[in-house]
Structure 1
Amino acid sequence: MKIKAAVTHGKGQVFRIEEVELAEPKMNEVLVKIVATGVCHTDAVARDAAIAPLPAVLGHEGAGIIERLGQGVTTLEEGDHVVLSFAHCGHCQNCLTGHPTVCETFNDLNFGGVANDFSHRLSHNGQELSTFFGQSSFGTYAVVHERNVVKVDKDVDLTLLGPLGCGIQTGAGTVLNSLQPEFSSTIAIYGAGAVGLSAIMAAKITGCKQIIAVDIHESRLELAKELGATHALNGSQVDVVKEIKAITNGGTNYAVDTTGVPPVVRQCLQALRPLGKAAIVGVTPEMNIDVHNDIMAEGKTMMGVIEGDAVPRVFIPQLVEYYKAGRFPIDKLVKYYEFEQINEAFEDSKKGVAIKPILRFN
């Protein structure tokens, strides 16, 4: 079928909305009419660093309505409202033990440019286009394996829910699934973007006594306090490690770094108290760490977390319930754009004008 999609033709090039061909859903796949999709930093990295084969249709925070079922689909029905999340094989040891975020074929299925059966679903003028994260939601329709699809309540605004499939799931899941802070413990969140703010909201849900937001943008720090941070530190104005140790009487029990900035990662470790745990979710380049002083000598733990270590079909409906109960106000993070404004949305995200842009489709 013919659809409209934002095509990335080459490394660093702007998105071009074009008519492309989408194949019919195959075994265990569904055709989803995309209603809205989040704009994520990972999409910008894929465009600018070509971490997936190009040309491609990117997008991996899609939300939509199931329009057609392929053969063998048993968990979904036409008309279901759904959020699309990351691809995983469903049968490796990690998938079967509840850790699909570290699926043994995660990179192949999400960044390899192909569908679950390692073939292509998208093409343009006879040229194959890469699929991204098993969905390619920067298009009016997507063909997705049913494992990637999460059914959500129809009484919630579907245009709001796409980012639950990646960025918001990552922040909240890192706290709720990986760190699991005890009631009245302390935590610092480095970076108050969509991922960091989601982590702050999750920390409030767990009952953390002190939730410290660290960023360099005052507007984001103000929002962090509105969403649950008890303290907000501007990293460009204060000695973050010194301030955190003073606030917490020795350091935080937990930390989440969403920035991927090496000096900030070091701060995140150094501001932990003995036996503290730090989760790294930002894409961090090669860096130096004083393993003895920053980690080993005080029994600290540094862990990497992907997609919040979530099982999306379990975790995303839980987040929706928190939202409906007023405990996870994700609507305060978003700014809407029409699909045709995709390049503007990415530019606003880069400048910090928008925390979580969402593209809406007519």
Structure 2
Amino acid sequence: MSTMQGVVLPGDSTVEHVTVPVPEPGPGQVLLRVRASSICGSDIRAIYREHLGHGAEAYQGVIAGHEPCGEVVGLGAGSRRLVEGDRVVVYHIAGCGMCDECRRGYEVGCHSPHRAAHGWQRDGGHAEFLLAEERSCILLPEPLTFVDGALVSCGFGTAYEGLRRADVSGRDRLLVTGLGPVGLAACMLGRAMGATEVIGMDVVPERVELARRLGLVDGAVTSSDDLVRVVRECTGDGVEVAIDCSGNPQARELALRSTRPWGRTVFVGEGGDVTFAVSDLLIHKQIQLHGSWVTSVLHMEELLAELVRWELHPDVIVTDILPLSQAARAYELADGGRTGKVCLVTNAPEKSG
């Protein structure tokens, strides 16, 4: 029996390497050779540091990594769409396929106890091979790279869904609070969707500098006082759209405070809570407040096509690419909170220009 190398997360900020059998694809499944598998902030928050152990974030000791991208190397019985050699992005949640959320394409919200997310309840992408449902795989169009595809499978998909929920267009100025990988994605995609001005905020200077260096923002600040000043200078009465990608209570409140009357605010950052003056910041300003969780299969496919049309490569926000053998170092870097995206590869990285 062939074996492969993989990574599991036992908690307590540790990484463990394991050797396991290469899985065989069953009916409706495909086997992928993983080419890139990036690290998500939720992996750090909910698994690497400690196991939350409940709900959608119940980690079952499986191979980690829910942002995989690779190529098809094996087909199960009944495969109807993919062929060996296809490059694919994986929608990382496999739902029951029958509930209302699944039928909308939002398998992330599947109600069934059979719902299983890669890297949480079923083996993920931090391995040499990955077993996936054929229906969960989306073709990766040229000229996007495997690293691009890994980033789309969660982080960029999450940012796109939030911006889409707010209907960002050329009528809007955009504020992004939290300039981690999802926030950087929101800046990049918001500009491509038409936002005329993009303002960013993060308390970590290195992330603000990265956003500036990549040309993703018109202005970026590290303090709430500076944010209030910059928003006032740039917009007068606030931005039309604000999206919080941090999950921080103060940043969420600032996003609402910085949104102009009749504007839209979106929360995509996971965890934590928020307290704000409901009448002053929401009701009297007539703001639409949206919660947005990951994305749908259809919108992920749509985003891949748009990235080609916009001539954008998500991999520009990647600051660190490491081999699977250096997973511990990769998680340390991601946990430090001062990098862009961190990605693991199982072969020489394919990265745009």
Q: Which sits farther off after the overlay, 47-56 or 299-308?
A: 47-56
- Answering whether residue 280 of structure 2 is matched by residue 296 of structure 1, we say no
Residue in 2 aligned with 1:89? 96
Mapped pair 1:21 → 2:27: no
2:217 is aligned with 1:232: no
- Please give the alpha-carbon distance, in whole angstroms, between the structure 2 residues aligned to 1:344 and 1:239: 34
**Structure 1 residues 354, 138: CA separation in 2 closer, same or farther (over 3 Å shift)?**
same
Given residue 23 of structure 2, which amino acid in structure 1 is its aligned partner? Answer: A
Where structure 2 has 5 or more consecutive residues not aligned to the other structure, the ranges are: 53-57, 348-353
Is 1:150–1:312's contact at 8 Å kept on the other side of the alignment?
no
Deviations 1:220-248 (A, max 9, x none): 32332433322212226x34234313321
Query: 1:134 Cα deviation (Å)?
Result: 4.8
Is 1:331 aligned with 2:315?
Answer: yes
Q: Distance in 2 between matches of 1:219 and 1:31?
A: 38
Equivalent residues in 2 for 1:1-362 (5 A)? 1-8=2-9, 10-44=10-44, 45-51=46-52, 52-87=58-93, 88-105=95-112, 108-110=115-117, 132=120, 134-153=122-141, 155-175=143-163, 177-225=164-212, 226-235=214-223, 238-309=225-296, 311=298, 314-322=301-309, 325-326=310-311, 328-334=312-318, 335-362=320-347
Aligned partner of 1:122 in structure 2 is none
Residue 34 of structure 2 aligns with an amino acid whose one-letter code is I
- Aligned residues of 2:59 and 2:120 also touching (Cα < 8 A): no
Question: Aligned partners of 2:79 and 2:193: how far apart in 1?
Answer: 36
Do the aligned partners of 1:172 and 1:195 also contact (CA within 8 Å) in 2? no
In structure 2, give the amino acid aligned to 1:166.
C
SS in 2 for 1:30: strand
Q: Which moved more, 1:186-195 or 1:224-233?
A: 224-233
| SS of aligned partner of 1:348 | helix
| 1:18–1:284 Cα change, 3 Å | closer
**1:155-175 deviation digits (Å, cap 9, x = unpaired):** 443244211100121113321
Question: How far apart are residue 79 of structure 1 and its match?
Answer: 1.1
Structure 1 residue 182 displacement after superposition? 2.9
1:65 and 1:16, CA in 2 relative to 1: closer, same or farther beyond 3 A? same
User: What TM-score, normalized to structure 1?
Assistant: 0.85
Is the Cα–Cα contact under 8 Å of residues 172 and 240 in structure 2 kept in the other structure?
Answer: yes
Structure 2 vs 1, CA of residues 254 and 154 (structure 1 numbering), >3 Å: closer, same or farther? closer
Letter of the aligned partner of 1:252 in structure 2? V
CA-atom RMSD in angstroms: 2.3
Q: What is the SS of the residue equivalent to 1:16?
A: strand
* CA shift in 2, pair 1:259/1:330, >3 Å: same
Q: By how many angstroms is 1:97 displaced?
A: 3.2
Partner residue, 1:114: none
Shift of residue 356 of structure 1?
A: 0.6
Aligned residues of 1:86 and 1:134 also touching (Cα < 8 A): no
Q: Is the deviation greater in 157-166 or in 63-72? A: 157-166
What CA distance in whole angstroms lies between the structure 1 residues aligned with 2:169 and 2:260? 15
How far apart are residue 11 of structure 1 and its match?
2.7
Residue 314 of structure 1: how far off its partner (Å): 2.1
Residues in 2 aligned to 1:144 and 1:154: alpha-carbon distance in whole angstroms: 22
In structure 2, how many angstroms separate the alpha carbons of the residues matched to 1:72 and 1:313?
24
For the residues of structure 2 that align with 1:167 and 1:69, how far apart are their CA atoms? Answer: 28
Native 8 Å contact 2:161 2:299 kept in 1: no
Q: Single out whichever of 145-154 and 192-201 deviates more from structure 2.
A: 145-154
What is the SS of the residue equivalent to 1:292? Answer: helix
Change (3 A) 1:281 1:46: same
User: In structure 2, the residue corresponding to 1:153 is in which secondary structure?
Assistant: coil
Distance of aligned partners of 1:106 and 1:264 in 2 relative to their CA distance in 1, 3 Å threshold = farther
Point out the more displaced range, 46-55 or 332-341. 46-55
Secondary structure of the corresponding residue to residue 161 of structure 1: helix
In the TM superposition, residue 180 of structure 1 has moved relative to its aligned partner by 1.4
Moved more, 221-230 or 17-26: 221-230
The one-letter amino acid of 1:304's match is G
